[in-house]
Chains A and B, each alone.
Chain A
Amino acid sequence: MREVAAIGVGITKWGELWKKSFRDIYVETALLALEDAGVDRIDSMYVGSMSSGLFVGQEHIAALLADYLGQTPVPSTRVETACASGGLALKLGYMEVASGMSDVVLVSGIEKMTDVSGNEATYALGTAADQEYEGYHGITFPGLYALIAVAHMEKYGTTREQMAMVSVKNHKNGTKNPVAQFPFEITVDQVLNSVMVADPLRILDCSPITDGAAAIILYPAELAKKMGKPVVKIIGTGHATDTIELSQRTDITWLNATYLAAKSAYAMADKKPEDIDLVEVHDCFTIAEICVTEALGFIEKGKGGEAVEQELTAIDGKIPVNPSGGLKSKGHPVGASGVAQAVEVVKQLRSDCCDRQVSDARIGMTQNMGGSGASAVVHIFERE
Chain B
Amino acid sequence: MSTPARYWREIPQRYRLEANKCSSCGKIFFPPRLLCNVCQSKDLEKTKLAETGKVLTYTIIRVPPHQFVDQAPYAVGIVELDDGVKIMGQVVDCDFEDIKIGMKVKVEFRKLFDVGESGILCYGYKFVPQLR
Q: Tell whether A and B belong to one assembly.
A: yes
Residues on A lying within 8 angstroms of B by beta carbon are: 119-120, 122-123, 126, 132-140, 142-143, 146-148, 150-151, 154, 195-201, 245-248, 252
Whole-angstrom CA separation of A195 from B63 in the bound complex: 10
Given A135-B65, A252-B57: A143 and B87 within 8 A (CB)? no
Given A123-B66, A138-B90: A143 and B59 within 8 A (CB)? yes
Q: Which residues of chain A are near B59, meaning CB under 8 Å?
A: 143, 146-147, 150, 198-201
Q: Which residues of chain B are near A196, meaning CB under 8 Å?
A: 60, 62
User: Are the C-beta atoms of A147 and B78 separated by less than 8 Å?
Assistant: yes
Given A133-B87, A150-B57, A247-B87: A197 and B124 within 8 A (CB)? no
Q: Which residues of chain B are near A138, meaning CB under 8 Å?
A: 61, 64-65, 67-68, 71, 74, 76, 90, 112-113
Interface centre among A138, A148, A201, A252 (most CB of B within 10 A): A138
Bitwise interface map of B from 69 to 95 toward A, beta carbon under 8 Å scored 1, else 0: 101001011100000001111100000
Can you name 10 extra interface pairs (CB under 8 A) apart from A138-B64, A138-B67, A150-B58? Answer: A119-B66, A122-B65, A123-B66, A138-B65, A138-B113, A143-B61, A147-B77, A197-B62, A246-B88, A247-B87
Residues on B lying within 8 angstroms of A by beta carbon are: 10, 14, 31, 56-69, 71, 74, 76-78, 86-90, 96, 101, 112-113, 122, 124
Given A119-B69, A136-B112, A138-B71: A147 and B57 within 8 A (CB)? yes
User: Are the C-beta atoms of A142 and B57 separated by less than 8 Å?
Assistant: no
Chain A at the B interface: SS class? helix
Q: Which residues of chain B are near A133, meaning CB under 8 Å?
A: 31, 87-88
Whole-angstrom CA separation of A174 from B82 in the bound complex: 47
Q: Which residues of chain B are near A201, meaning CB under 8 Å?
A: 59
Q: How far is the CB of B131 from chain A (nearest CB, A)?
A: 22
28 residue pairs from A and B, CB less than 8 Å apart: A119-B65, A119-B69, A123-B66, A132-B10, A134-B88, A136-B14, A137-B90, A138-B61, A138-B74, A138-B76, A138-B112, A140-B61, A142-B63, A143-B59, A147-B57, A147-B58, A150-B57, A151-B101, A154-B57, A197-B62, A198-B63, A199-B62, A199-B96, A200-B59, A201-B59, A245-B88, A252-B56, A252-B78
Whole-angstrom CA separation of A343 from B112 in the bound complex: 44
User: Residue on B with the closest CB to A198?
Assistant: B59
User: Are the C-beta atoms of A198 and B57 separated by less than 8 Å?
Assistant: no
Q: Which residues of chain A are near B57, meaning CB under 8 Å?
A: 147-148, 150-151, 154, 252
